[in-house]
Structure 1
Amino acid sequence: MSATPAVRPFRVNGPAGRPGVASFHIQVVGPEAVACHLPAIADVGGDVFTLPPWRESYPAARGVAARLLADSRRPGFVLALALDGEELYGFAYGVRCSRLARLACHEPGPDFTLKELAVVPRRRGLRLGAALHDAVLARAVPGTRWLTTHTRAAAALGLYRARGWRAVALAGGERLIMSRRDTR
């Protein structure tokens, strides 16, 4: 992946539903730039994954940064950040991986797993999650995409279903494995 970040401003609805232009932008960064974003990613994880339905402890929720750092060394790594200036309000990342395909009893192939997508609560409703989702998948290898989410994560499930994901298996009682095919 190129060291040059991709920056994409996007439109959101302003006050009372009036169209506006957000100062947010989506930046895709390569593995070489991950380290400088880890503290902010940990903060977002702490803001998001301690809430229902995940309810992780604060240290465990912040652990998303360590997992992301480890995954940044894997093939096909893609990280997108939602920024307002230098402030991080969300992120999404994924890697080439067939683990979820095997868990869902599907044949592994050129798979890509969307590992995490998080937007801080105070910035939800601005389509940041959709923009992050789309930025990561636009750079992923063609093939089958996989993700897992909580069965009670209504906003996430709505986003994924609107973007063509379908539930294929239940893992651990409260985790839904979802899939979609992208052949570009």
Structure 2
Amino acid sequence: MRTGIRVFGDTGLLRQAPALRSVYVDAFCAPPWEEDESRADEFVTRLAADARRPGFTAATASCDGQVVGFATAWITPAPFPTDRCHPQAVAGLGPQRTADWLCGALEVDELAVRAAARGTGLAARLLAAVTADAPGGRAWLLTSVRSTRALSFYRRQGWAQATHPAPEGRGSVVLLGPRHPARTLVPLPLPLSPPLLLPLPPSLPL
């Protein structure tokens, strides 16, 4: 079995759009994401525009000639975007930190690997490939708290969680890459408070 990583910095990635869609369906249209296949069509449609973004970079992983994973990223513009899940980043970080930490940094948009190729190290190689040239080491991404597996993966790669939604939340969190200069400044989640023990009322006389 031969596995290789190929990096793209232009629209050449679009020639593999059908294969990328197939990987997207395999990765995200199953638990815990459970997306509808129409989201895969949306991904392919916006990929044509994304590939023309400033600082666009992508990587594909192929095994025996078949695409089994991919990652896409680009430079986050200023002012900070207001589409998709970007408002959740602002809500968690605040406007000033968002501008200072995320604008001008490399934003990892998608990272997907076929179920059959998980556990082989391909996801880590794809992530490293698209973030290798992040300006000043500044790389970041948003991911949903629905997947504890994804969060654990990024933590193992040295990414720091910069926002902390309420327990059992269903929102997205901001993660800063291992070379991001602000990763040491991220707030830690507050510990859960122990239950408040109230004194029992005095017994009433019979």
Which interval holds the TM-score relative to the shorter structure? 0.7 to 0.9
Deviation at 1:70, TM superposition (A): 1.5
Aligned residues: 163
Tell me which residue corresponds to 2:140.
Answer: 146
Amino acid at match of 2:9: G
Tell me which residue corresponds to 2:124.
Answer: 130
- Determine the C-alpha separation between the residues in 2 that align with 1:33 and 1:80: 11
- Determine the C-alpha separation between the residues in 2 that align with 1:33 and 1:168: 33
- Determine the C-alpha separation between the residues in 2 that align with 1:61 and 1:35: 14
Tell me which residue corresponds to 2:196.
Answer: none
- Determine the C-alpha separation between the residues in 2 that align with 1:82 and 1:44: 11
Deviation at 1:102, TM superposition (A): 4.0
Deviation at 1:74, TM superposition (A): 0.5
Tell me which residue corresponds to 2:176.
Answer: 179
Partner SS for 2:151: helix
Q: What is the CA deviation profile of residues 19-59 of structure 1, one whole-angstrom value per residue up to 9, with x for unaligned ones?
A: xxx51111102313122111111111111111122111012
Kept in 2: contact 1:146–1:178 (CA 8 A)? yes
2:59 counterpart (72, 80, 83): 80
Amino acid at match of 1:145: A
| Pairing 1:82-101 to 2, within 5 Å after superposition | 82-97=61-76, 99=80, 100=86
Gaps (5+ residues) in structure 2? 81-85, 182-206
2:18 counterpart (27, 33, 39): 39
Partner SS for 1:90: strand
Q: What is the CA deviation profile of residues 124-166 of structure 1, one whole-angstrom value per residue up to 9, with x for unaligned ones?
A: 1101100000011113322432211121323321221112212
Amino acid at match of 2:174: I
Amino acid at match of 2:20: I
Deviation at 1:86, TM superposition (A): 2.6
Tell me which residue corresponds to 1:48.
Answer: 27
Amino acid at match of 1:112: L
Kept in 2: contact 1:27–1:80 (CA 8 A)? yes
CA RMSD in angstroms, aligned pairs only: 2.3
After TM superposition, the runs of 4+ consecutive aligned structure 1 residues lying more than 3 A away are: 98-103, 170-173
Tell me which residue corresponds to 2:42.
Answer: 63
**Greater shift in the superposed pair: 152-161 or 169-178:** 169-178
Kept in 2: contact 1:78–1:139 (CA 8 A)? no
Identity %: 33
Kept in 2: contact 1:90–1:120 (CA 8 A)? yes
Q: TM-score, normalised by structure 2?
A: 0.71
Asked if 1:111 corresponds to 2:105, the answer is yes
Deviation at 1:94, TM superposition (A): 0.4
Partner SS for 2:34: coil
Gaps (5+ residues) in structure 1? 1-21
Query: Higher strand proportion, which one?
Result: 1
